Chain A
Amino acid sequence: MTASDVRDWDPGDGRHSTPSTTRPPAWSADLPPHPTADLPPVPSDRGSAAPDLFEVVEHFREGLVVCDATGVVRHVSPVAERLLPGVTPGELLSAAGVPGLSDGNAGGFSYRGRRLTARQVPLSGARCCWYVEDVTDSVGRADALLAERARSAFLAVVGDKLGNPLHPDRAAAAVVRLAVPTLAEVAVLVLAPRAGRARWWRASRADDETPMVDSGALAAAELPAAVADGLTGIEPHAVDWLVEQAIDAGLLPGLAGSAARVVPLPGRDAPVGVLLVARRATGWYDEADVELIRAFTARAGAALTTALLYRDQAEVADTLQASLLPVEPAEAAGVQWGTAYRPAQAGLRIGGDFYGSHRLADGGSVFFLGDVSGKGVEAAVLTGQLRQCLQALHRLESHPGRLLRLLNDALLETTQAHGQGRFATIVLGVARPQRDGGLTLTLAGGGHLPPLVLRASGEVESVPLRGMLIGVVPDPRVGEVTVRLAPGETCLLYSDGVTEARGGRRGDEQFGTERLVTALSGCQRMPAPALAERVEQITCDWLAHGDHDDIAVLALRATGPSGRESRHLHSVPTPADPDQQEETDA
């Protein structure tokens, strides 16, 4: 007979008080209580004969032990007899040696292989009654549930941590680190061999929570047979010699006599690798353990496959990207270059702004800074084409205006051929060193923002350079201006990502040319690289982490007569008398 057999037992005669009649009324005091006549009538068709109370008690799920005031057992129900064979009527309960019953602290305890709970209820005449329940099954179910929850939690953590490292080596290290200590004391990941070498990562449990990870490589021929099998997609079962093989291959040092398993990591077609797990302390891997390892390796395999795919694609992307990044200007006599470049899409690192310089045979340099319509990869590809055009064309034509027209023709042809309405703005110039250490700049404008010149006096001039966009019409109007830089003076080219940066109080105000000019005044003695970085910095400070367009800056400074400029600041004002110093310099 089980507890469920007595569940619907009706006490029958109503002598046993039911909770509803003793509970204080739930309704509010100012409402009249429901008349008892409204209650459903007590069925009277059965239980007319009062059952023996102990007969009822026998069917309780809980066993009963009644003790008298001196602690001597007076009654033991049949269930209690079965659960607590040591408890005998007429003897002291404490003499029975049941851990949960002797000292009055109720709760759960183990007795003769069962999980029991007990509660003590005082009865009249200083007697007491112990209610004892067998909870072995429910505790077992709860433990199983907890174990299942722990497995789910572990797999959730694994999914979370493995989704992110996109570098294959990082992902491999993360796989073994996550496997310890939940799955193994030592976990080894062996990747499918590439060019005859199989790389492996190993995590070993240390004293604290953080496992130690190391890695190495094995010749494919030296792999343990079980691992080699695993790499073909076969999961070897119960292999006694696996541990010995792995120890021989140097994968599991000092783990003789431990339990081990090999599970493949699913890849795109063949397994991407195998996971070898080994442990001593908790012994053999049972079916639930192996299930968990398989669930783990499924996730690990997906993560590694993604990382390998990403590596292959990133290799291609990097090569292409490198060809689209601006190249630092070529060193030239009498010129100090300074550059800054910050593409709109930071993760991409390329954009629609470009700059560069080439040395001319006569000792001068052609330099340029421009902006292609649009952003991102497409714009970057066009900047690459423009830079390559200039690299070729400057050998044929060194006059900035004519060079710009040639570039316009080339761009027009390209965009028409591709049917895309792309255009560019550009400032293109030739710098020629003068005998006095200054520079003569011949500038041609293609619809770009006019350059600024930082004079030795501290004044910031805007160069009156106009002109039309390039890549739009066959024979554009090109602006041409000649600027002379005295030694120490600087010409600054920049893209609209600087002046159109949105920031300020509300994040919607344009930085503007005026703020740029103000920020540059007083900077006339700065080295060109520091100046370019300052423009980048004030622009980014203005943006305050907001989105921005591509930002490019090219500064060129006349270094003076000697190739080796001894001092950037010919007269840094001393704290003592700054004003006088300013004047001597001007």
Chain B
Amino acid sequence: MSTATAAADPTDAYVGYLDCLADADEYGAIDLATGLLDAGVPAERVLLDLVAPAQVEVGERWARNEWSVAQEHAATHISEQVVAAVAAHANPRPTGGRVVVACMDGEWHALPPRLVAEVLRLRGWQVTFLGASVPAAHLVSYLHRYDAHAVALACALPMRLPYAHRMIEACRRSDVPVVVGGRGFGVDGRWAARLGVAWAPDAPSAAELIADERALRGVPSARLAHLADDEYASLVRRRGELIDGALADVLERVPSARGYTATQLDSTVSDLGHIVDFLAAAVYVDDASLFTEFVEWLSGILLSREVPAGAVAHSLEHFSVALRDFPRAGRVLALGCAALPAAGP
């Protein structure tokens, strides 16, 4: 074997590719990917064994506060260009029906569904990729206009599940089967099962599921009888009031917060909003693990930015008091508090 074989393996090229992303070297990254294709590596492997794991690493570098948002965006943009280059290079001929791929409304992580779209295209489907944060009305008018065999929807953040559910229902009403993916549905897709929708853990499984219409349509229906207690609807109604109260509480308990700049206040409000939204989503799917996983993740993010976990604990306690009439939300909050790392000073 020659040296070319080393370069002809996506996993060996991975480190070099990450360097290109870190250096924001768009053409280097594209050259590397097309080099693999020229060496005979199938396009699907380049997408799934090179671009996909690199994107996961990009997200983790942001979470560890090693990369700024701007760097994360630039790296993502380069990977999108690479995907476009790989797609143009492979140029598959469509033989199957139309599949529409889109991000849920409010969802901006467009690269993973873009990879799914390209894998489907490589497997002969005629794919329309509608991009990031597609409004439900836009998607539905598209489905009315073009006959789609299936819709693939991506959701990276579980707090968007209630919106995701509405969007899934909108597609269903147009009689188009839906497959969902992304971390927003849980690592094992358990919240997709709760919402009564087919779920695929990765692009190849999504492709297999889409090829099997019986499996797509034969999904057990949603189990959301718990919504009858109105806790979710009340939480959404009281969102502004809850955030106001929690913010006042932060300003009272944390003296340094009184000196916050407008930007810092905005981001505090946004963090509190996320807590309420994740809580509401956990109540929506009636699964506290949605919230505890979020609390663990948030503590990690804040820790890497040197914000003590105590700040989160205070707010969770505040919400517990404010929501004492909400038994399900109360249980979720209690488990969320328990999931926090041992509080520091």
Contacts and interface: CB of A to CB of B under 8 A. Distances in A.
Which of B69, B106, B175, B176 has the largest number of chain A CB atoms within 10 A? B175
Q: How would you classify the secondary structure of chain A's contact residues: helix, strand, loop or mixed? A: loop
A505 B244 CA distance: 7
Contact of B25 (A209, A213, A348, A566): A566
Given A505-B244, A564-B27, A347 B77 contact: no
Nearest to A520: B70
A385 B273 CA distance: 43
Contacts of B27: 564, 566
Interface stretch (B132-140, B305-313, B324-332): B132-140
A347 B174 contact: no
B218 A504 contact: no
Contacts of A310: 144
Given A165-B175, A527-B74, A505 B247 contact: yes
A208 B146 contact: no
Given A170-B175, A170-B176, A569-B24, A523 B70 contact: yes
B12 interface: no
Contacts of B128: none
Q: How would you classify the secondary structure of chain B's contact residues: helix, strand, loop or mixed? A: helix
B55 interface: no
A523 B24 CA distance: 13
Interface stretch (A81-89, A430-438, A537-545): A537-545
Contacts of B24: 525, 567-569, 572
B146 A540 contact: no
Contacts of B262: 514-515, 518
Contacts of A159: none
Interface in B141-197: 141, 143-147, 163, 173-176
B131 to A, nearest CB: 9
A566 B30 CA distance: 11
B157 to A, nearest CB: 11
B214 interface: yes
A537 B133 contact: yes
Contact of B217 (A169, A210, A507): A210
B218 A208 contact: yes
A42 to B, nearest CB: 54
Nearest to A523: B70
A545 B163 contact: yes
Contact of B243 (A170, A505, A533): A505
Interface in A202-218: 206, 208-210, 212-213
A525 B68 CA distance: 11
A167 interface: yes
A325 interface: no
A91 interface: no
Contacts of B133: 537, 540
Nearest to A543: B106
A525 B25 CA distance: 12
Interface in B13-30: 22-28
Contact of A212 (B23, B66, B73, B214): B214
A164 interface: yes
A566 B146 CA distance: 40
B269 A505 contact: yes
A347 B141 contact: yes
B108 interface: yes
A558 to B, nearest CB: 16
Given A527-B77, A575-B66, A505 B146 contact: no
A506 to B, nearest CB: 5
A569 B141 contact: no
Which of A209, A314, A568 has the largest number of chain B CB atoms within 10 A? A568
A167 B144 contact: yes
B323 to A, nearest CB: 17
B153 to A, nearest CB: 16
Interface string B261-275: 011001001100100
B177 to A, nearest CB: 10
A525 B147 contact: no
Contact of B147 (A169, A208, A210, A568): A169
A307 to B, nearest CB: 8
Interface in A327-379: 345-349
Given A526-B74, A540-B106, A167 B263 contact: no
B269 A504 contact: yes
A164 B173 contact: yes
B71 A167 contact: no
A167 B266 contact: no
A171 B147 CA distance: 10
Interface in A127-184: 161, 164-167, 169-171, 173-174
A575 to B, nearest CB: 5
Given A212-B214, A567-B26, A530 B266 contact: no
B316 to A, nearest CB: 19
B137 A347 contact: yes
A347 B140 contact: yes
Given A167-B174, A545-B163, A522 B144 contact: no
B174 A165 contact: yes
A167 B145 contact: yes
A534 interface: yes
A577 to B, nearest CB: 13
17 contacts: A165-B173, A167-B146, A210-B218, A212-B213, A346-B136, A347-B137, A504-B269, A506-B244, A515-B263, A526-B73, A527-B26, A534-B69, A534-B73, A537-B132, A566-B26, A567-B23, A572-B24
**Which A-B residue pairs are the 10 nearest by beta carbons?**
A346-B135, A347-B137, A569-B24, A166-B144, A530-B77, A164-B173, A165-B175, A346-B137, A169-B147, A568-B24
Interface of A: 161, 164-167, 169-171, 173-174, 206, 208-210, 212-213, 310, 314, 318, 345-349, 504-507, 514-515, 518, 522-523, 525-527, 529-531, 533-534, 537, 540-541, 544-545, 564-569, 572, 574-575
